[in-house]
Amino acid sequence: MLDACAELLDEGGYGELSTTRIAERAGVAIGSVYQFFPDKKAITQALGLRYLEMFSERVRLRLADQKFDHWTDGVDAIIDEYIDMHRTVPGFRSLHFGDVVDVRLLDGAADNNRVIADRLRDLVATLPDTPDGRELDRAATVAVEAADAVLKLAFRHNADGDPELITEAKLLVRSYLGRHFLAE
């Protein structure tokens, strides 16, 4: 059902999504959908959480598998994972982490970007020369918000993402983190 939801989001967006269409695409009875999800928002929430877990795992593996000389290389790797998901994961381009549905879709107590910032903060804290603490908390929040805005702009009119804007997003985040919070 989540895969069907992702396909339908790419085809028509959230406005065109319905539990009936999800059931039809998944090849299940509508009652089966309602057995697990009370409405389309609950389905997209489950899909957004799936994307968050997928993104977190991809970033974790990439950071663990590669040896970075400096934390800025890790920042680029994180942005590259987001871009790859945007280009290759069905439904991600339309839903991201749920902001098109509800800014608190992932967690009713926090904005979606805050949830992402908390996850990334924990992952970035493992990189070389990255101090831990309140400054990193704030920096992760600002960096995620800024990157989110620029990356949305990069994909607004270019399905693969405007390469120059992607480069600018990386530069923005690295410069911000380097200048204000993290040791060079």
Task: Report residue 147: phi and psi, to 5°.
Answer: -60, -40
CATH numbers and ranges of domains, the chain: 48-180 (1.10.357.10)
Task: Please compute, for residue 62, the number of CA atoms within 13 A of its CA located in the half-sphere on the CB side.
Answer: 21
- Average per-residue pLDDT for the chain: 91
What are the backbone angles phi and psi of residue 107, rounded to the nearest 5°?
-155, 115
- Can you tell me the distance from the alpha carbon of 141 to that of 38, in angstroms, rounded to the nearest whole number? 32
Taking residues 137-143, what's their average pLDDT? 90
- Given a cut of 80, whether residue 73 has pLDDT beyond it is yes
The span from the CA of 173 to the CA of 164, in Å, is 14
Q: Which distant-in-sequence residues (6+ apart) come within 8 Å of 119 by Cβ?
A: 52, 55, 56
Question: What is the percentage of the chain residues whose pLDDT exceeds 70?
Answer: 94
Q: Show the tokens assigned to 18.
A: 């319905």
Query: How does pLDDT run across 2-17, given as a tens digit for each residue?
Result: 999 999 999 999 999 9
Both tokens of 117, joined, read 């910032």
- Closest by Cα among 148, 140, 98 to 120: 140
What is the pLDDT averaged over residues 158-175? 95
pLDDT top residue among 135 and 86: 86
* DSSP H helices in the chain: 2-12, 19-26, 30-36, 40-65, 71-88, 92-95, 112-124, 134-156, 163-180
pLDDT-derived band at 123 (thresholds 50, 70, 90) equals: confident
**DSSP symbol at 107:** B
